[in-house]
């Protein structure tokens, strides 16, 4: 027994000293906050996997200008309080020069005041436009996920082309759904689209019959189901159960092949905007992102034996953008921030162009409209 305790002590000592040596003074420290467990784990898990894959690649190649890159990865479990605590810990204890994440719109917005006060750049992986606007109040905040407002614009433009004027919207009650609901209501008028039914549901709901009936009674010509939680795949199923045949639009939160699998046959033909990573095989060769997308998809799928998702792509873009900036100006947070603002980067989410007035860097055209065909995501032709 004594010997075992001794052996355990030695192990602990070795781990501690190893991490001290590895995290030497010349290493670059970057923090990550993802929702790795909890209700939003399907976002955080691919994000964590992606950054771990990249950091290994960077350090195997000799680090950034000879400095090893050390990542501190925190799990916020999708909870705002935990996210704020994690960000504070990363800044105060781990002395990181930049933060990647959080994964969710809610947790990212909760983190904004913290990083603004401590003056550490944060690159969120969430999509609400509010995270980086108004840009005057978001000096330290960037994001690599496309704006939800641009996703809504893509959907509305598609509706205009198909003469759909009256729609019903369904949103989940998470930060993603609530922000999407606000954007849709604000933008619909621009496209002369009238929202005749406005329903919300909880991530724990198991039956969408009631909101769907309300939408059916409102005379809507199409439904937008704006959600990031698994419950969204119940909507197409319940529509089929109710024999509703009006077109179903989903948000970019649907861009996870598991959601399409969960909805089964009922998901066939639903329309949604998504990053091009979801249908990389159907892209033309001259598309500027094609090479990056193919490389990431191949690396991720062979390393983790899992489908690639747009969400891991947000972390990919964020970490490479930070790495490029570190390469140029080193790890002073203020200099890093200024450099981030000049970033031009071809990534998974699209072609990024940050500027002092735009901390998202993506626009409407970085989405492609997709549909589900034979259980696979394909780019929509018309």
Partner 1 sequence: MTSADANLIDIIQFLFMGIQRGCIYALAAMGFNMIYNATGIINFAQGEFVVLGGLMMVTLTMALHLPMPLAFILTVFFVVGAGILMERLTINPVKQPTVLRLIIITIAVSIIIKGAAMIFWGKGSHYMRHFSSAEPLDFHGATILPQTLWIIGILLVVVIAYGFFFNFTMTGKCMRACAINRDAARLAGIDDRKMVMLSFALSAGIGAVAGIIITPVIQMDYARGAMLGLKGFGAAVLGGLGNSAGAVAAGILLGVLEALGAGYISSHYMDAIALVILLFVLFIRPSGIFGSSEAMRLKEF
- Of 240 and 376, which CB lies nearer to partner 1 in the complex structure? 240
- Of 225 and 289, which CB lies nearer to partner 1 in the complex structure? 225
Looking at residue 243, the DSSP 8-state letter turns out to be T
Given 17, 117, 160, 209, the residue binding partner 1 (CB under 8 A): 209
Given 6, 7, 16, 242, the residue binding partner 1 (CB under 8 A): 242
Does residue 365 interact with partner 1 by CB under 8 A?
Answer: no
Given 241, 324, 338, 358, the residue binding partner 1 (CB under 8 A): 241
- Of 243 and 381, which CB lies nearer to partner 1 in the complex structure? 243
Number of H helices, E strands in the chain: 12, 14
Residue 178: partners with Cβ closer than 8 Å, 6 or more residues away: 171
- Of 168 and 349, which CB lies nearer to partner 1 in the complex structure? 168
Does residue 301 interact with partner 1 by CB under 8 A?
Answer: no
311's tokens:
């969400």
Task: Report the nearest approach of partner 1 to the CB of residue 83 (Å).
Answer: 19
Cis peptide before 16 (omega within 30 of 0): no
Which among 8, 96, 48, 14 is positioned nearest to 315, based on CA atoms?
A: 48
Q: Which stretch binds partner 1 (CB under 8 A): 61-69, 109-117, 256-264, 347-355?
A: 256-264
Residues 20-79 that bind partner 1 (CB under 8 A): 37, 39, 41-42, 45
Do 90 and 114 form a contact (C-beta atoms < 8 A)?
no
Residue 18: partners with Cβ closer than 8 Å, 6 or more residues away: none
Task: Report the nearest approach of partner 1 to the CB of residue 154 (Å).
Answer: 26
Given 103, 105, 132, 233, the residue binding partner 1 (CB under 8 A): 233
Which among 308, 310, 306, 377 is positioned nearest to 348, based on CA atoms?
A: 310
Does residue 287 interact with partner 1 by CB under 8 A?
Answer: no
DSSP letters for 68-114: PEEEEEEE-TT-HHHHHHHHHHHHHTS--SEEE--SSHHHHHHHHHH
Cis peptide before 102 (omega within 30 of 0): yes
Do 372 and 357 form a contact (C-beta atoms < 8 A)?
no
Does residue 288 interact with partner 1 by CB under 8 A?
Answer: no
Using CB under 8 A, count the residues that bind partner 1: 32
- Whole-angstrom distance, CA of residue 359 vs CA of residue 363: 11
- Of 42 and 142, which CB lies nearer to partner 1 in the complex structure? 42
Task: Report the nearest approach of partner 1 to the CB of residue 63 (Å).
Answer: 33
Do 95 and 30 form a contact (C-beta atoms < 8 A)?
no
In what order do the strands lie in the sheet containing 69-75? Answer: 69-75, 28-34, 98-100, 122-124, 141-143
Do 21 and 285 form a contact (C-beta atoms < 8 A)?
no
Q: Which stretch binds partner 1 (CB under 8 A): 16-24, 48-56, 208-216, 287-295?
A: 208-216
Given 27, 135, 187, 213, the residue binding partner 1 (CB under 8 A): 213
Residues 158-187 that bind partner 1 (CB under 8 A): 173
- Of 73 and 208, which CB lies nearer to partner 1 in the complex structure? 208
CA dihedral 56, 57, 58, 60 (to 10 degrees): 80
Q: Which stretch binds partner 1 (CB under 8 A): 15-23, 112-120, 233-241, 311-319?
A: 233-241
Given 27, 195, 262, 379, the residue binding partner 1 (CB under 8 A): 262
Q: Which stretch binds partner 1 (CB under 8 A): 18-26, 139-147, 185-193, 239-247?
A: 239-247
Q: Which stretch binds partner 1 (CB under 8 A): 53-61, 203-211, 308-316, 372-380?
A: 203-211
Looking at residue 117, the DSSP 8-state letter turns out to be H
CB atoms within 10 A of CB 59: 17
Interface residue list for partner 1 (CB under 8 A): 37, 39, 41-42, 45, 173, 199-202, 204-211, 213-214, 217, 230, 233-234, 240-243, 258, 261-262, 264
């Amino acid at each position: 027994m004594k010997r075992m305790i001794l052996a355990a002590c030695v192990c602990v000592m070795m781990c501690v000293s190893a991490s001290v040596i590895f995290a030497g003074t010349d290493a670059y420290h970057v923090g990550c906050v993802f929702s790795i467990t909890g209700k939003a784990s399907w976002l955080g898990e691919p994000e964590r996997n992606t950054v771990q894959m990249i950091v290994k690649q960077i350090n195997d190649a000799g680090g950034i200008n000879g400095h090893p890159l050390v990542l501190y990865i925190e799990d916020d479990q999708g909870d705002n309080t935990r996210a704020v605590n994690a960000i504070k810990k990363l800044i105060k204890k781990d002395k990181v020069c930049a933060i990647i994440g959080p994964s969710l719109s809610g947790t990212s917005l909760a983190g904004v005041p913290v990083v603004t006060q401590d003056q550490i750049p944060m690159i969120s992986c969430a999509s609400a436009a509010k995270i980086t606007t108004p840009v005057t109040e978001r000096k330290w905040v960037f994001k690599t996920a496309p704006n939800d407002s641009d996703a809504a614009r893509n959907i509305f433009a598609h509706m205009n082309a198909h003469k759909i004027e009256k729609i019903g919207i369904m949103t989940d009650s998470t930060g993603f759904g609530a922000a999407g609901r606000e954007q849709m209501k604000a933008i619909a008028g621009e496209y002369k689209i009238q929202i005749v039914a406005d329903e919300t549901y909880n991530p724990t709901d198991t039956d969408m019959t009631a909101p769907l009936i309300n939408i059916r009674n409102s005379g809507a010509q199409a439904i937008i189901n704006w959600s990031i939680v698994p419950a969204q795949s119940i909507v197409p199923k319940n529509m089929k159960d109710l024999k509703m045949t009006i077109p179903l639009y989903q948000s970019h939160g649907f861009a996870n092949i598991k959601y399409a699998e969960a909805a089964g046959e009922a998901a066939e033909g639903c329309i949604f905007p998504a990053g091009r990573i979801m249908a990389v095989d159907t892209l033309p060769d001259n598309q500027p992102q094609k090479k990056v997308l193919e490389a990431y998809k191949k690396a991720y799928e062979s390393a983790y034996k899992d489908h690639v998702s747009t969400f891991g792509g947000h972390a990919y873009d964020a970490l490479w953008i930070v790495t490029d900036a570190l390469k140029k100006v080193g790890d002073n947070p203020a200099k890093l921030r200024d450099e981030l603002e000049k970033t031009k980067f071809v990534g998974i989410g699209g072609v990024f162009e940050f500027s002092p007035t735009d901390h998202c860097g993506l626009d409407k055209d970085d989405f492609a409209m997709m549909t589900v065909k034979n259980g696979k995501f394909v780019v929509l032709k018309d």
